[in-house]
Amino acid sequence: MSEAMVTAERGRLRWLRRLSGITRRSPTMAAGAAILLVFALMAVFAPWITPFDPEAANARNVLAAPGGAHVFGTDGNGMDVLSRVIAGAGWAFGIAIPAVIVGVLAGVPLGLYTGYRGGWFDEITMRFFDALRVFPSIILALAVVAAAGPSLFNVVLVIGFLDSPVFARVVRAEVLALRHSTFVEAARAAGNPTWRILFVHILPNAIQGAMAQTAVRAAWAVRISATLAFLGVGIQPPTPEWGAMIRQGAEYLVTGQWWVGVFPGIALILMVLGLNMLGDGLQDLLDPRRKAATR
């Protein structure tokens, strides 16, 4: 066996070992990742694996009970519930991932700058965040989306911006701890401009805490976008979005056609649960403060 092959073999083994190590330390996180993998596969391969077109109505076959060709039954428009549940995974990721990216892009620089600058700007930003906390996030999101109009773009933007204080706070706390460290002082003495110190010297050291939050924030994004759709202000039917499907299913629950609302709800729970489980493990693994508290 050539040396390169040996190294490759070791690399693969190492990867497996790391996997088993993480699974051992945090089975929750591994289970969460597994759930997400299933949903990701569902989202990517939805066009090939959905038995029916998720948005094809069939007036002659409405509210068919689960079984037969329609494993999860059909909804009030005769659309196949299973196909819609599968297609919903794509919408959930499609909102959560960009929303978290918006949250990080808005929150991380803000946290960097407020933490580094301090002073009145920092003070006002933090007081503003405090004031936001007086209101439940769903009320804030609902108010802004209702005012701005219920488009996918608006929903993503609003969720992202409402998320940004979380990232800003985490990064700011790290920056406060790093601001007077030797390497930052050295970078400043060497005449680096502020933006360079912030992004090149401080950010790589402060980013871990923010990364630990991403999965939990994604879980929140999936939840809140579904809630908005459930209230009728988010994504609108017949788009196969889980919250909108639950809204449709709500009226049939008290008349016995449970499958319309139950299946998308279960999918929603599982996905949010997967993200929360992953997030819990990530926080334990990446957040130095939490690690110290639990060990």
Partner 1 sequence: MSLLAVEDLHTHFISRDLDNRLRVARALNGVSFTLEAGRVLGLVGETGAGKSLTATSIMGLLRPPAVLIGGRALFEGRDLLAMEEGALNALRGRDISLVVQSPKSSLDPLSRIGDQLIRIHRAHRPASEATARTRAMEMLGALGIPDPPRRMRAWPHELSGGMAQRVLIALALMNDPRLLIADEPTTGLDVTVQAQILDLLRDRVRNTGIGAMIITHDLGVVAHYCDEMAVMYAGAIVESGPVRAVFARPAHPYTQNLIGATPERLKIGAARTVGGTPPNLYELPAGCAYSDRCPLRGADCAIPPRDVALGAGHVARCHRLVAAA
Partner 2 sequence: MPIGKMLLRRVALVVPLLFVILLFTFLLVRISGQDPVGLLAGPTATDAEIALVRASLALDQPLWVQFGVYFGRVLQGDLGASWLSNRPVLGEIVERAPATIELMGWGVLIGAGLGIPIGLRAASRPDRSFDQVSRFLSLLGFSVPTYWLGLIMLFVFFYLLDWAPPGMGRLNLMLDPPPFFTGSYLIDGLIAADWEVANSAFRQLVLPVICVAIIAAAPIIKQTRAIALEVLGSDYIRYARAQGLPPREIRAMALRNSRTPVVTFIGTEITGLVGTTSLIEYVFAWGGLGQYGLSAIISGDFAAVQGYVLALALFSVIVFLAVDLFVMLTEPRAGIAA
| Side-chain-facing half-sphere of 30: CA atoms under 13 Å | 10
Position 249 contacts partner 2 (CB under 8 A): yes
Q: Which is nearer to partner 2, 64 or 246 (CB)?
A: 246
Provide the CA 97 distance to its chain's centre, in angstroms: 6
**Per-residue binder mask for partner 2 (CB under 8 A), 148-177, x = binder:** ------------------------------
- Strands (E) located in the chain: none
Count of all residues that appear for the chain in the document: 295
Q: Report whether the peptide linkage leading into residue 150 is cis, meaning its omega lies within 30 degrees of zero.
A: no
The residues in 276-295 that bind partner 2, with binding defined as CB under 8 A, are 276-277, 280, 293-294
Cβ–Cβ < 8 Å for 103, 167: yes
Q: In terms of CB distance, is 207 or 268 closer to partner 2?
A: 268
Query: Contact 207/108 with Cβ under 8 angstroms?
Result: yes
Nearer to partner 1 (CB atom), residue 62 or residue 211: 211
Distance CA 264, CA 16 (A): 34
Residue 142 binding: pick among partner 2, partner 1, none (C-beta 5-8 Å cut-off by kind): partner 2
Decide which of partner 1, partner 2, none touches 177; Cβ closer than 5 to 8 Å per partner kind.
Answer: none
The letter for the amino acid at 117 is: R
Amino acid at 249: G
Q: Which residues bind partner 2 (CB under 8 A)?
A: 28, 131, 133-139, 142-143, 146-147, 219, 223, 226-227, 230-233, 243, 246, 249-250, 253-256, 258, 261-262, 265, 268-269, 272-273, 276-277, 280, 293-294
